[in-house]
Amino acid sequence: MDTRQQLSHKSIKRAYAAVSPIYDLFFDRIFLPGRVEAIKLSAIGPEDRVLEVGIGTGLNLPLYPLHRRLVGMDFSEQMLRKAGDRARTLNAAHVRLVVMDAMQMGFQDNCFDHVFATYVISAVPDPIQVLREIKRVCRPKGHIIILNHFKSEHPVMGRLERLMSPLITRTGLFKPDLPLTPLLEQAGLVPDQIHRVNLLNGWRLIRCTNSEETYPEARPIIN
Ligand SMILES: C[S@@+](CC[C@H](N)C(=O)[O-])C[C@H]1O[C@@H](n2cnc3c(N)ncnc32)[C@H](O)[C@@H]1O
């Protein structure tokens, strides 16, 4: 199964435009423990430049240290509008929100110290390309933090996720059976920490310290 052909720009944009008014009802409380751990894991310094990829409605905004330099990007204007409302409510003048495609970011190489992707990497059209872009914009030795559900290593659960995948992926919201290890390998990322978080430890929180090495040649992930 080629993960890069599962979700299309069009279906994702349509899905997140539709769910933006109710997104926080489902993604706030239940997914909060992982968010808190993710931000702790990166130890953001006072002058550090932070990027959040696919920031959505900005549910992480209250969790970042307030005085940091933070850029949030997403290609859904509807989701980003919600993030803007949240930033105003929080009086977070330091936050810059931009409409942008994570597959082709308009940032220079090495310009962030920390890049966060929470609950995003299985919701993009091409996860390998997005991780490569993340690697490009993160400075060498900077932190890349990925929080996501990946294909279960439990044989029964893994098979179930795979069975349900075509149906769920068709909604445009996410792909439930993205395998972690080949994804990181293809993106040229080596994790230095992996934790299990959230309900039933069903989500993984990964920290990679970015290297100067480039990534291997792209191949589709066979799931
Ligand atoms: C499940 S939501 C996660 C939102 C947020 N990161 C959070 O923690 O709640 C996935 C987000 O990824 C965004 N997204 C998907 N593909 C994208 C792309 N190619 N470029 C930018 N944003 C993208 C969607 O618009 C949506 O806001």
pLDDT over 70 at 36, yes or no: yes
What are the Cα distances from residue 7, in Å, to 12, 69, 151, 171? 7, 31, 16, 9
pLDDT range class, residue 220, cuts 50, 70, 90: low
Decide if 51 contacts 68 (C-beta within 8 A). Answer: no
Distance CA 100, CA 121 (A): 15
Report the candidate in 40, 80, 86, 88 with the shortest Cα–Cα distance to residue 64.
40
Q: Which long-range contacts (CB under 8 A, 24 or more apart) does 21-24 make?
A: 23/56, 23/57, 23/79, 23/82, 24/57, 24/59, 24/82
- Distance CA(78)–CA(157), nearest Å, equals 33
Mean pLDDT of 110-122: 97
Which residue among 76, 149, 169 is best mutated to probe the pocket of ligand 1, counting the most ligand atoms within 8 A of its Cβ? 76
Residue nearest to atom 26 of ligand 1 (CA): 56
Inter-CA distances, 207 with 43, 78, 213, Å: 11, 29, 17
Give the Cα separation of 22 and 190 in Å (integer): 35
pLDDT in tens, 14-35: 999 999 999 999 999 999 999 9
Average pLDDT over residues 22-51: 95
3-209 has CATH 3.40.50.150 classification: yes
Res 218: pLDDT: 58
Residue 216's pLDDT is 61
Which atom of ligand 1 is found nearest the CA of 116?
6
Q: CB within 6 Å of ligand 1 — which residues?
A: 12, 16, 27, 54-56, 59-60, 74-76, 79, 101-103, 118-120, 123-125
Q: Order of strands across the sheet with 138-148?
A: 95-99, 69-74, 49-53, 112-118, 138-148, 203-209, 191-197
CA of 55 to the centre of ligand 1 (A): 6
Residue minimizing CA distance to atom 15 of ligand 1: 124
* Domain edges within the chain: 3-209
| pLDDT at residue 3 in the model | 44
Measure 121 CA to ligand 1 centroid, in angstroms: 8
Task: Give residue 56 CA to ligand 1 midpoint distance, Å.
Answer: 5
- Is the pLDDT higher at 69 or at 118? 118
In percent, the amount of the chain with pLDDT more than 90 equals 86
CB of 53 closer than 8 Å to CB of 115: yes
pLDDT of residue 1 exceeding 50: no
pTM: 0.93
